């Protein structure tokens, strides 16, 4: 698995490179600004790029804008955005209509190394990684007569993990549940939210996010 | 008093001089009684009109000029004397009264000053030309029994030739120029100016066309009837001019009368209406008042905005230390000053008001700058925290985590220590993040008010309904609205025990209206919970907005902020 890292902090780049290298990934390039990122993505065609949202020179959203152009020109390159702060509004805008091969995580998530490596793999394979904090913003802040209120606590947990982009297997290992139980929960959730069952994980994330966004 | 005595003396002397002139006309050139009398009456009309004008309008020099014309016309009669010296003196200046002195008085009306450089040049040159011609004519004078003291080469032919040139040059060319100048004056005059100018100008053109026709007719044979008609035309034209001057003067007197009537109104007029009252009193809709602020050494308008006094020909009458009145240049400055003095109290109050407005505008501007600078500072601190401390702490934590993985398996103690350290750092990062958000939420800059409110809702333990426009507003306006919402929501949760909060942020015309409504216990402000909100009043007002708090006990609380956002 070939990875590109873009972050203006050398320390951060080295740490992430080390973590992913230990997990058996190949770090093909490591850059400090958005222009460098666009260039190495074009030449190296990596499986995934880890991108800091704020980068020089303006320290606002260079990373996010670079990510947008990369998603247009190289749709098969996964993008995992890292940010010091995550906001639901920003997340939904960045994901747009296409959560495939896209992730948006709080920077501190790299400290939970196993989860982080798993998220990088997922995005590289075309999956989704949505920060748990955003999912809890989306799930937690509901209107009064929202069908989400009808979910059991366990079902809410499963809904959140689906929204983060995890597969059934991922949910199983996270909650220490059997695949059978997880499947039951998932179909119960889709029934209660009156959503059609999605044929695969990607579209499932899309459906869940669309639902949560619409109800915001 | 001295001027009055001088005028009395001039009148007496003029009358006597006129009688002597009449004697010269009758006995030395045998003029008819009507002709001689008319010629003296013209001079006396100028004399009386001039002296009256001089007395009534001492600031205008027109009266003096008219008196001067009168004496020139009287002096002219001396040329009929049989005494050589008297004749020579009389002849030398004889033409002034009918030509250049006359033109001078008319062009200088009503202030008594020539306005343009060209007018001054024209009049100055005419004095020289007219006297020079008379002098040259005296050098060739050959018409006994009178003898010129300056005679050098007496020749009747030379005299006639020079006199023809004189008639065409002075009566024709200078007369036409004079008419052109008057037409230009009347055309360029304002409405009020025309009212004052027209009677006089009509009379002057009447007299001047006579002069031009004199020049034209000098090329033709003329009958006695024509000469007679021209003579009476000239006489009536010359009498009309001083009478027209008197009419103009009387009109100004009438206007002064209405000002006197308005003194009562002007002295009781409210500060806000003083301009209109003055404009009405002086019949000048274009009138403006500029108030003098001695502390700042500048003039301002009613609302305190600085104004420059114009120097483009508009009339400016300064009322010492209070104000300047900008008015139609044709208005008599004396008249304007009189009206200004009547309205002194109102002007004084209006000036104080303008001064306060000017200071208020300055204070408001500086308050806005302070708040905006504060916002900018907060944004920078937030950015520094993100890009500096937070970034370093996360990188450091990652390094420790890697160390933990590398060495933790060998030593459980080290593993525990490092895990602890990473945990502590995570808490620190989270605290820093909250601190930065409190200083200035990045989401506000990046996503605008709606995004920031959604983010705020996700961190509020009470259900929050948001109805916010996705529009972007100026940064400082978004910040003010956001902080109002933050404070109101915090109060609803902490003090009012609300179970439902509704936030709306919408653009209404050029105003951003932020409204926070809860179902709590109300009574904000009474239990001290509104103090934070009152602090926000400053922030909102600094941007020219208003903040209202409706909070009766038991009915919940409504906070409404209105922020102008013309963009």
CATH code at position B547? 3.30.565.10
Whole-structure pTM value:
0.59
> How does DSSP classify residue B522?
-
Q: Is the CB of B489 inside 8 Å of chain A's CB atoms? A: no
- Is the CB of A19 less than 8 angstroms away from the CB of B402? yes
Considering the domain boundaries, does residue B391 fall inside one?
no
Q: Give the Cα-Cα-Cα angle B555, B560, B562 (nearest 5 degrees).
A: 165
Q: With 80 as the cut, is the pLDDT of residue B1 above it? A: no
Domain that holds residue A157: 135-214
- Is the CB of A108 less than 8 angstroms away from the CB of B426? yes
- Is the CB of B397 less than 8 angstroms away from the CB of A18? no
Q: Are residues A100 and A14 in the same domain?
A: yes
Considering the domain boundaries, does residue B540 fall inside one?
yes
Share of chain B above pLDDT 90, in %: 23
Q: What does the pLDDT read at residue B256?
A: 55
Q: What does the pLDDT read at residue B531?
A: 65
Domain that holds residue B294: 255-370
Q: Tell which of B383, B394, B409, B464 to mutate to test the A interface (max A CBs under 10 Å).
A: B394
Q: What is the mean pLDDT of residues B54-66?
A: 82
Q: Are residues A187 and A89 in the same domain?
A: no
Of A15, A87, A137, nearest to B395 by CB-CB distance is A15
Q: How does the average pLDDT of chain B come out, rounded? A: 84
Q: Are residues B207 and B221 in the same domain?
A: yes
Q: Are residues A125 and A176 in the same domain?
A: no
CATH number assigned to the domain comprising residue A168: 3.40.50.2300
Q: Are residues B125 and B245 in the same domain?
A: yes
Beta bridge partners of A50: A5, A80
How distant, in Å, are the alpha carbons of A74, B45, B143 from that of B23? 120, 18, 21
Of B386, B458, B465, nearest to A137 by CB-CB distance is B458
- Is the CB of A54 less than 8 angstroms away from the CB of B426? no
Question: How far apart are alpha carbons B176 and B317 in whole angstroms?
Answer: 35
ipTM reported for the complex surpasses 0.95? no
Q: Tell which of A15, A18, A61 to mutate to test the B interface (max B CBs under 10 Å).
A: A15
Considering the domain boundaries, does residue B410 fall inside one?
no
What is the chain A residue with the closest CA to B441?
A85
Name the one residue in this structure whose structure tokens are 């809702």: B457
What is the chain A residue with the closest CA to B428?
A108
Q: What does the pLDDT read at residue B432?
A: 92
- Helix, strand or coil, per DSSP, at residue B309: coil
pLDDT in tens, B203-221: 777 777 777 777 777 666 6
Q: Are residues A145 and A123 in the same domain?
A: no
Q: Are residues A102 and A149 in the same domain?
A: no
From A102, A130, A158, the end of a domain falls on A130
Residues of A in contact with B454 (CB under 8 A): 87-89, 137, 141, 216
Question: How far apart are alpha carbons A174 and A115 in whole angstroms?
Answer: 10
Q: Are residues A40 and A84 in the same domain?
A: yes
Tokens of B300: 């301002």
One-character DSSP codes across A100-147 = TTEEEEEGGGGGSHHHHHHHHHHHHTT-EEE-HHHHHHHHHS--TT-G
- At A137, phi and psi to the nearest 5? -60, -45
Q: Are residues B132 and B243 in the same domain?
A: yes
Q: Are residues A178 and A75 in the same domain?
A: no
Q: Are residues A42 and A79 in the same domain?
A: yes
- Is the CB of B455 less than 8 angstroms away from the CB of A89? yes
Q: Which helix (DSSP H) or strand (DSSP E) does residue B109 occupy?
A: none
Q: How many domains does chain B have?
A: 3
pLDDT in tens, B258-307: 556 666 667 777 777 888 888 877 778 888 899 988 888 889 888 888 88
Q: Are residues B365 and B477 in the same domain?
A: no
What is the chain B residue with the closest CA to A111?
B398
Residue B497's Cβ-side half-sphere holds a number of Cα atoms within 13 Å equal to 5
Q: What does the pLDDT read at residue B414?
A: 92
Q: Are residues B221 and B190 in the same domain?
A: yes
Closest CA to A50 of A97, A111, A7: A7
For β-strands B288-293 and A128-130, DSSP reports them as unpaired
Q: Are residues B246 and B351 in the same domain?
A: no
- Is the CB of A16 less than 8 angstroms away from the CB of B437? no
Q: Are residues A158 and A52 in the same domain?
A: no
Binned at pLDDT 50, 70 and 90, residue B191 comes out as low
Residue B493 to chain A, least CA–CA distance (Å): 15
pLDDT in tens, B86-103: 999 999 998 888 888 888
Of B399, B437, B455, nearest to A15 by CB-CB distance is B399
Residues of A in contact with B438 (CB under 8 A): none
Q: With 70 as the cut, is the pLDDT of residue B249 above it? A: no
- Is the CB of B464 less than 8 angstroms away from the CB of A18? no
Q: Are residues B267 and B346 in the same domain?
A: yes
From B318, B338, B370, the end of a domain falls on B370
Considering the domain boundaries, does residue B436 fall inside one?
no
Q: Are residues B243 and B300 in the same domain?
A: no
Q: Measured in Å, how far apart are chain A's first and last C-alpha atoms?
A: 37
- Is the CB of B394 less than 8 angstroms away from the CB of A107? yes
Considering the domain boundaries, does residue B352 fall inside one?
yes
Q: Are residues A9 and A98 in the same domain?
A: yes
Q: Which residues of chain A have pLDDT under 70?
A: 140-145, 199, 201-202, 213-216
Q: Are residues A15 and A78 in the same domain?
A: yes
Q: Are residues B342 and B479 in the same domain?
A: no
Q: Considering only CB atoms, which residues of chain A are within 8 Å of chain B?
A: 9, 11-12, 15-16, 18-19, 22, 54, 59-61, 84-85, 87-90, 93, 107-108, 110-111, 113, 136-137, 140-144, 216
pLDDT in tens, B435-462: 988 888 888 888 899 989 988 888 888 8
Lowest mean pLDDT among A49-58, B39-48, B222-231: B222-231
From B370, B385, B420, the end of a domain falls on B370
Q: Are residues B13 and B160 in the same domain?
A: yes
Q: Are residues B117 and B153 in the same domain?
A: yes
Q: What does the pLDDT read at residue B254?
A: 55
From A130, A161, A185, the end of a domain falls on A130
Q: What does the pLDDT read at residue A145?
A: 65
Which residues are CB-neighbours of B249 under 8 A, at least 6 positions away? B52, B53, B56, B57
Of A88, A90, A107, nearest to B446 by CB-CB distance is A90
Beta bridge partners of B518: B501, B557
Considering the domain boundaries, does residue B400 fall inside one?
no
Residues of B in contact with A57 (CB under 8 A): none
Considering the domain boundaries, does residue B440 fall inside one?
no
Q: With 90 as the cut, is the pLDDT of residue B393 above it? A: yes
Residues of B in contact with A89 (CB under 8 A): 443, 447, 450-451, 454-455
Of B397, B445, B463, nearest to A111 by CB-CB distance is B397
Q: Give the Cα-Cα-Cα angle B20, B21, B26 (nearest 5 degrees).
A: 100
Q: With 60 as the cut, is the pLDDT of residue B257 above it? A: no
Question: How far apart are alpha carbons B181 and B417 in whole angstroms?
Answer: 104
Q: What does the pLDDT read at residue B400?
A: 94
Q: How many domains does chain A have?
A: 2
- Helix, strand or coil, per DSSP, at residue B320: coil
Of A88, A107, A141, nearest to B464 by CB-CB distance is A141
Q: Are residues B33 and B150 in the same domain?
A: yes
Residues of B in contact with A137 (CB under 8 A): 454-455, 458
- Is the CB of B422 less than 8 angstroms away from the CB of A111? yes
Q: Are residues A108 and A149 in the same domain?
A: no
From B370, B399, B422, the end of a domain falls on B370
Q: With 80 as the cut, is the pLDDT of residue B251 above it? A: no
Residues of B in contact with A16 (CB under 8 A): 398
pLDDT in tens, B350-389: 888 888 888 888 888 898 898 889 888 988 898 888 888 8
From A97, A130, A163, the end of a domain falls on A130
B 425-454: CB under 8 A from A? 426, 429-430, 433, 436-437, 442-443, 445-447, 450-451, 454
Residues of A in contact with B392 (CB under 8 A): 9, 11
Residue B394 to chain A, least CA–CA distance (Å): 6
Q: What does the pLDDT read at residue B379?
A: 87
Considering the domain boundaries, does residue B377 fall inside one?
no
pLDDT in tens, A158-186: 888 888 888 888 888 888 989 899 888 88
The backbone region for A59, taken as left when phi is positive above 0, alpha when psi lies in -120 to 50, beta otherwise, is left
């Amino acid at each position: 698995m070939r990875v590109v890292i873009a972050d203006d902090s050398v320390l951060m780049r080295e740490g992430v490179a080390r973590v992913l290298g230990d997990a058996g990934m190949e770090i093909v390039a490591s850059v400090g600004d958005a222009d460098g990122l666009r260039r190495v993505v074009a030449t190296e065609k990596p499986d995934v790029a880890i991108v800091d949202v704020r980068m020089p020179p303006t320290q606002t959203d260079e990373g996010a804008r670079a990510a947008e152009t990369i998603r247009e020109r190289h749709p098969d390159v996964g993008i995992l955005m890292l940010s010091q702060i995550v906001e639901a509004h920003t997340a939904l805008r960045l994901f747009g209509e296409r959560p495939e091969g896209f992730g948006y995580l709080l920077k501190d998530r790299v400290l939970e190394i196993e989860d982080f490596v798993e998220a990088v793999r997922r995005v590289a394979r075309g999956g989704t990684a949505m920060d748990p904090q955003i999912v809890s913003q989306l799930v937690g802040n509901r209107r009064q007569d929202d069908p989400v209120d009808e979910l059991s606590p366990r079902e809410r947990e499963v809904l959140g993990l689906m929204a983060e982009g995890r597969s059934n297997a991922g949910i199983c290992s996270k909650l220490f549940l059997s695949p059978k139980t997880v499947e039951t929960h998932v179909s119960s959730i889709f029934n209660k939210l009156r959503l059609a069952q999605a044929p695969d994980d990607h579209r499932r994330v899309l459906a869940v996010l669309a639902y949560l966004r619409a109800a915001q | 008093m001295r001027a009055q005595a001088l005028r009395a003396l001039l009148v007496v002397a003029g009358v006597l001089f006129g009688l002597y002139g009449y004697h010269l006309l009758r006995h030395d050139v045998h003029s008819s009684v009507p002709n001689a009398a008319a010629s003296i009456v013209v001079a006396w009309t100028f004399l009386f009109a001039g002296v009256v004008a001089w007395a009534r309008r001492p600031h205008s020099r027109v009266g003096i000029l008219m008196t001067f014309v009168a004496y020139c016309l009287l002096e002219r009669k001396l040329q009929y004397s049989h005494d050589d010296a008297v004749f020579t003196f009389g002849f030398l200046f004889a033409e002034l009264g009918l030509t250049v002195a006359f033109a001078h008085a008319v062009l200088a009306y009503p202030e008594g000053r020539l306005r343009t450089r060209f007018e001054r040049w024209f009049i100055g040159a005419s004095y020289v030309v007219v006297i020079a011609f008379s002098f040259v004519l005296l050098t060739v004078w050959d018409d006994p029994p009178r003898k010129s003291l300056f005679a050098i080469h007496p020749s009747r032919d030379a005299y006639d030739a020079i006199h023809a040139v004189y008639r065409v040059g002075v009566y024709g060319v200078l007369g036409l120029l004079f008419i052109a100048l008057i037409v230009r004056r009347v055309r360029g005059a304002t409405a009020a100016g025309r009212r004052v100018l027209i009677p006089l100008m009509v009379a002057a053109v009447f007299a001047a066309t006579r002069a031009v026709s004199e020049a034209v007719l000098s090329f033709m044979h003329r009958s006695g009837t024509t000469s007679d008609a021209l003579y009476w035309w000239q006489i009536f034209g010359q009498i009309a001019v001083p009478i027209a001057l008197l009419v103009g003067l009387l009109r100004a007197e009438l206007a002064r009368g209405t000002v006197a009537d308005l003194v009562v109104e002007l002295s009781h007029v409210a500060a806000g209406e003083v301009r209109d009252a003055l404009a009405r009193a002086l019949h000048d809709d274009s009138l403006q008042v500029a108030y003098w602020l001695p502390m700042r050494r500048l003039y301002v308008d009613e609302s305190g905005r600085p104004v420059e006094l114009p120097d483009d020909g508009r009339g400016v009458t300064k009322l010492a230390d209070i104000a300047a009145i900008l008015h139609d240049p044709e208005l008599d400055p004396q008249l304007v000053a009189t009206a200004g003095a009547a309205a002194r109290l109102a002007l004084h109050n209006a000036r104080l008001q303008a001064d306060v407005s000017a200071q208020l505008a300055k204070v408001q501007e500086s308050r806005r700058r302070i708040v905006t600078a504060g916002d900018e500072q907060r944004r920078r601190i937030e950015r520094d925290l993100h890009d500096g401390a937070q970034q370093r702490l996360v990188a450091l934590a990652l390094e420790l985590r890697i160390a933990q993985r590398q060495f933790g398996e060998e030593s459980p103690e080290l593993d525990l220590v490092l895990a602890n350290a990473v945990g502590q750092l995570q808490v620190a990062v989270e605290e820093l993040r909250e601190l930065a958000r409190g200083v200035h939420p990045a989401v506000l800059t990046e996503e605008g008010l709606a995004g920031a409110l959604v983010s705020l809702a996700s961190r509020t333990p009470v259900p929050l309904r948001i109805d916010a426009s996705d529009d972007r507003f100026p940064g400082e306006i978004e910040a003010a609205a956001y902080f109002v919402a933050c404070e109101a929501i915090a109060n609803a949760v902490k003090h009012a025990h609300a179970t439902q909060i509704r936030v709306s942020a919408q653009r209404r015309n050029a105003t951003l209206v932020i409204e926070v409504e809860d179902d709590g216990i109300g009574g904000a402000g009474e239990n001290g919970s509104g103090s934070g909100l009152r602090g926000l009043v400053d922030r909102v007002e600094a941007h020219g907005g208003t903040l209202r708090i409706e909070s009766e006990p038991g009915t919940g609380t409504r906070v409404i902020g209105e922020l102008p956002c013309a963009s």
